[in-house]
Structure 1
Amino acid sequence: MNNSISHGVTAENSRLWITVALCFTVALLEGMDLQAPGIAAPGMSAAFGLDRMAMGWVFSAGILGLLPGALAGGRLADRIGRKAVLIMATALFGLFSIATAYAWDLWSLVAARLLTGVGLGAALPNLIALTSESAGERMRGFAVSLMYCGVPLGAALAATIGIAEFSGGWKVVFLVGGLVPLLILPLLMFWLPESAAFRAQQSRRGEVSTSVWRSLFRDGAATPTLLLWSSYFFTLLVVYMLINWLPTLLVGQGFSASEASWVMFAFQIGAVFGTLVLGLLMDRLSALALSALIYCGILGSLAGLGLSSQLESMVAAGFLAGLFATGGQSVLYALAPIFYRTEVRATGVGTAVAVGRLGAMSGPLVAGQALALGAGTAGVMAATGPGILIAAGAVFVLLGRKSNEQS
């Protein structure tokens, strides 16, 4: 009897860590593809003769694709399974990342980034749902944070490619970010286990309602849904403004492209630390302390980025921005699955991610327009302040509800 229980626990742990490892790998590639346009921007702009407003459209096209990708990927996953949708999404963003490197003008570039974004958007809700459901309640926050570490690490890898300045120029980061996802598809097909919670839910599908909007807004779900949407929107606005515009802003301030890549590398390494540390602190700090830590850290790091003039201080500010902005984002991803039932979990997470993508799409456009009107780097950073305060309030209430549900 004890041996069979022990064997069951061991098998369950093996499935969990295989799931986390494979989802981490896809998250790594997602982070690389998300960061690639920012790293490639100076070379891409020179190759196509694009001004800042045109580059804003290139950045936002990829982020716009994340929106329908997250909505469709989450909803489809609740119907046919998390694994199948994740495999399709990985193939999609791999193929169109390669297509980005072979674009011939602005509009082919925009189209390639849009379709890359659809694949990336569809992947994330399934990464979160698979990891969350495999981990269970006790390990959920840590497992999701550990998986999400792949995103900033992948972005740091993209920054490393920018630092290396390969002979292929700006195209290299897109080629690497496209070929590797296609190469790992067999691993996902044969080794990634489907969510046990999803399989159990499928066996009783006839007993439950699958109405999306009723599930997102009934039985006390309306308040956490709206709070999640607010916090996702404003937090991702800042994160994606930094991911897409920070290298170009630094070059405009007189830093070289290689120095700008070092700042982005520091940003993503800070994001790795923030994702792990803030994920661990979710269950150890009060709601007020954690939300204050995250959003005061974001405001302080943005001030540092806007006011720093030396490379050393800019690298430090970039590290702190990654730690608090991306680390805070990972806290949101760990929070979202808690508030939705299994049959709509991927849909709920996907919808929240999609609303966050609206903020992510708005960030580069707002920054591009502000720069076109003559605002400096400090002005762009300061404009995000009110949104950060709204996100902080929403996260504070969400963390408080999480503590009440667990007590």
Structure 2
Amino acid sequence: MTISASNSPRAAITIGLCFLVALLEGLDLQAAGIAAPGMAVAFSLGKLQMGWVFSAGIIGLLPGALVGGWLADRIGRKRVLIGSVALFGLFSLATAHAWSLPSLLLARLFTGVGLGAALPNLIALCSEAAGQRLRGSAVSLMYCGVPLGAALAAGIGIAGYTADWQRVFQVGGAGPLLILPLLARYLPESKQFRATLQADGAANLRRELFGQGATWLLWLSYFFTLMVVYILINWLPSLLVAQGFSGRDASWVMFALQMGAAIGTLALGQLLDRLPAWATAALVYLGILAALAGLGLANELRTMLLAGFAAGFFATGGQGVLYALAPYFYPVQVRATGVGAAVAVGRLGAMSGPLVAGQMLALGAGSAGVLLASAPGVVIAALALFRLIGRRPL
């Protein structure tokens, strides 16, 4: 990706620091899935209770995204990002020191608030630093830090630390706290935000968020796409172990998924800047359907690794495409609010996915049934996105 000469140093610093935050965010998002077997043993948790542990963090993402986006359009993207990084770092460490199920749920809830508040600011900062022409590439370059961080969490599992389940949360908590001085010293505030500080944000918010059909279509696509992504992030390791794979094999599949996600985020972001948006969207959702079928039907490690890579490439990579598309639909003065609202609605899907999967497993549905049952939501998300693109060609 190239940045215009006039703003390249500033944009490069912004994208680089935001990538670092996204890396740590990805590590924490995957941490619960990697630590799940150890947590289940330590706290004597059943499948439905583990679903609540997964969903507690996701529940926190929703108000975090709403409030984080709203505050960013009023006091600045940088300030809110620094506060959110401090919050999810502290409560990731608190997760490692939980002593009961209620304390574990509370720590995951507040970790989610911090993670949720960070994402709309990362998207807004990168999209505004890169400008209109390279927005898709800039956001996808930043967002590929999320699957790479998740791959790092999977690497901790591969190294054999799944029994010592606190280790991944200790790493995930210390990292954000260590980078706070870098963000405070070197992260520049958005020039576009500073130029619109005097705008009438309240009137624009009502008109730009709810006065157009684009918002509702964007929300629908976010909801169902993130539902699938979070079923994979949270439940896939446990589903694989239930199918007879070892914990180490499951960690390798998650590593393949997250490497596919990192490559897919970069590749699909580049395609978004070069191909019609409808073509990129078609590729994403057809790929998700094929990957879900592969994960549900594969019965040996080699094919499962391939299916996991494809799932990461298209599902998480497609999520990156959605994050890159959202800023196109909102002006600067309400951009973080609009993106934050869309992310929050997506988190509703992310929250419901692990709960629905946990309930299906508790009722006796197999791994294939859970994965294949996600297909209708993928179709709905695709149709909503195609309609969105048709209303406002990109």
Scaled by the length of structure 1, the TM-score of the pair is 0.94
Contact 2:201/2:334 (8 A) holds in 1: no
Q: Whole-Å Cα distance in 2 between the matches of residues 402 and 274 of structure 1? A: 25
Q: Which residue of 1 aligns with 2:26?
A: 31
Q: Whole-Å Cα distance in 1 between the matches of residues 83 and 327 of structure 2? A: 22
TM-superposed deviation, 1:284: 2.8
Mean Cα displacement is larger for which, 390-399 or 275-284? 390-399
Q: Whole-Å Cα distance in 1 between the matches of residues 111 and 268 of structure 2? A: 29
TM-superposed deviation, 1:13: 1.0
Q: Structure 1's 102 and 333: CA in aligned 2 closer, same or farther, altered over 3 A?
A: same
Q: Whole-Å Cα distance in 1 between the matches of residues 77 and 196 of structure 2? A: 12
Helix, strand or coil: the match of 2:275? coil
> After superposition, what is the alpha-carbon deviation per residue over 1:255-299, rounded to whole angstroms, capped at 9, x for unaligned?
111110000000000001110111111133334432221111101
Helix, strand or coil: the match of 1:23? helix
Number of corresponding residues: 391
347, 351, 361: which is aligned to 2:351?
Answer: 361
Matched, 1:393 2:383: yes
Q: Which residue of 2 aligns with 1:274?
A: 264
Q: Which runs of 4+ in 1 moved over 4 A?
A: 207-211
Q: Whole-Å Cα distance in 2 between the matches of residues 11 and 231 of structure 1? A: 35
Structure of higher CA gyration radius:
1
TM-superposed deviation, 1:212: 2.9
Q: Which residue of 1 aligns with 2:207?
A: 214
Correspondence list, 1:64-143, <5 A: 64-143=59-138
Q: Whole-Å Cα distance in 1 between the matches of residues 87 and 310 of structure 2? A: 33
Counterpart AA for 1:200? A
Contact 2:196/2:332 (8 A) holds in 1: yes
Contact 1:287/1:397 (8 A) holds in 2: no
Correspondence list, 1:263-342, <5 A: 263-342=253-332
Q: Whole-Å Cα distance in 1 between the matches of residues 372 and 250 of structure 2? A: 20
Q: Structure 1's 364 and 190: CA in aligned 2 closer, same or farther, altered over 3 A?
A: same
TM-superposed deviation, 1:160: 0.2
Q: Whole-Å Cα distance in 1 between the matches of residues 281 and 175 of structure 2? A: 36
Q: Which residue of 2 aligns with 1:5?
A: none
TM-superposed deviation, 1:304: 0.7
Contact 1:201/1:342 (8 A) holds in 2: yes
Q: Whole-Å Cα distance in 2 between the matches of residues 258 and 27 of structure 1? A: 25
TM-superposed deviation, 1:58: 0.2
TM-superposed deviation, 1:402: 4.8
TM-superposed deviation, 1:300: 0.7
Correspondence list, 1:44-83, <5 A: 44-83=39-78
Q: Which residue of 2 aligns with 1:6?
A: none
Identity %: 68
Mean Cα displacement is larger for which, 379-388 or 27-36? 379-388
Q: Which residue of 1 aligns with 2:371?
A: 381
TM-superposed deviation, 1:243: 0.1
166, 169, 189: which is aligned to 1:171?
Answer: 166
Counterpart AA for 1:49? S
Structure 1 unaligned regions, length at least 5 = 1-8
Helix, strand or coil: the match of 1:375? coil
Contact 1:287/1:400 (8 A) holds in 2: no
> After superposition, what is the alpha-carbon deviation per residue over 1:83-119, rounded to whole angstroms, capped at 9, x for unaligned?
0000000000000000000000111000000000000
Matched, 1:235 2:225: yes
Contact 2:37/2:162 (8 A) holds in 1: no
Q: Structure 1's 399 and 215: CA in aligned 2 closer, same or farther, altered over 3 A?
A: closer
TM-superposed deviation, 1:211: 5.2
Q: Structure 1's 214 and 157: CA in aligned 2 closer, same or farther, altered over 3 A?
A: same
Contact 2:292/2:375 (8 A) holds in 1: no
> After superposition, what is the alpha-carbon deviation per residue over 1:337-390, rounded to whole angstroms, capped at 9, x for unaligned?
010011110000000000000000000000000000111111111211111111
TM-superposed deviation, 1:245: 0.2
Contact 1:210/1:344 (8 A) holds in 2: no
Q: Whole-Å Cα distance in 1 between the matches of residues 290 and 114 of structure 2? A: 34
TM-superposed deviation, 1:208: 5.5
Scaled by the length of structure 2, the TM-score of the pair is 0.97
CA RMSD of aligned residues (A): 1.4
Helix, strand or coil: the match of 1:138? coil
Structure 2 unaligned regions, length at least 5 = none
Q: Whole-Å Cα distance in 1 between the matches of residues 160 and 203 of structure 2? A: 50
Q: Structure 1's 71 and 393: CA in aligned 2 closer, same or farther, altered over 3 A?
A: same
Counterpart AA for 1:391? A
